Amino acid sequence: MDPDETDHDTPPKEDPAIVRTRRWNRFKKILIIFVAGWVSVILEKMVKLDSVISGGAEGFIGGIFIAPFLLIITLPLAVLGSCIGSWKVWKRRRSWFTVGLPVLLLSIDTADVLYWKSRPWEGFEQVTGVPLSRDAKVERWVIDDGYGPLYDSAYTFEFTCSPEETERLIRELKLTKSSSVSSGRPAAESWTGKGLPAGRIQYVQMEMDATRTKLRVLCYNI
């Protein structure tokens, strides 16, 4: 066999530096997607718990376990983005497509929570099965749904409303007066009830003082 012919048939070896650079770029993209998943968990918890500190801490811990699964779910989108970016017209934006599509998917849950929390009256009715007057001013809404199907969700609404609206809620939520509590503010009345119209309610507690009404609902998830 002609040596020249053998050399001609053997494909040239890639420069090791180029191979290392390509592998490093691939690793960086995967790392960015992983971190984006972790950050999405933190942001979602901060919005749900209406607290930067407690929401950030719970999201940070939960993200340790959830982020790897989010990475597995979003990797196919990264491959799709890389394929789209391989087209000649998108060649210069290949990295943006590879990372952007997974990040877009990861941001959907947080965007959905933001949208839902911007409509607290609808959320109140969905949780309790009882409508809340549009005249009520919702000051805070906390969604504590933990992680996994075995965690019973808790919803806390803090709002101000008219005495007539308060009486209507007590009546329609089927609450009974339990006690009077004091937490540094004027004494607050406490009302409790079970078995509300929404169907999966486990427990509901309403506290009222001269400034606001606080309603806490605990729901069964199973």
How far is CA 35 from its chain centroid? 15
Position 185 scores a pLDDT of 43
Total domains present in the chain: 2
The predicted model gives 8-19 an average pLDDT of 65
Angle at 154 between CA 156 and CA 196, to 5 degrees: 85
Instruction: Kindly indicate the confidence band of residue 184, based on its pLDDT and cuts at 50, 70 and 90.
Output: very low
Average pLDDT of the segment spanning 48-55: 93
Same domain, 54 and 105: yes
Where does residue 38 rank: exposed (0-12), middle (13-18), buried (19+ CB within 10 A)? buried
Domain that holds residue 27: 11-114
- Rounded to two decimals, the pTM is 0.79
1 lies in some domain: no
Do 70 and 142 lie in a common domain?
no
24-35: pLDDT as tens digits: 888 999 999 999
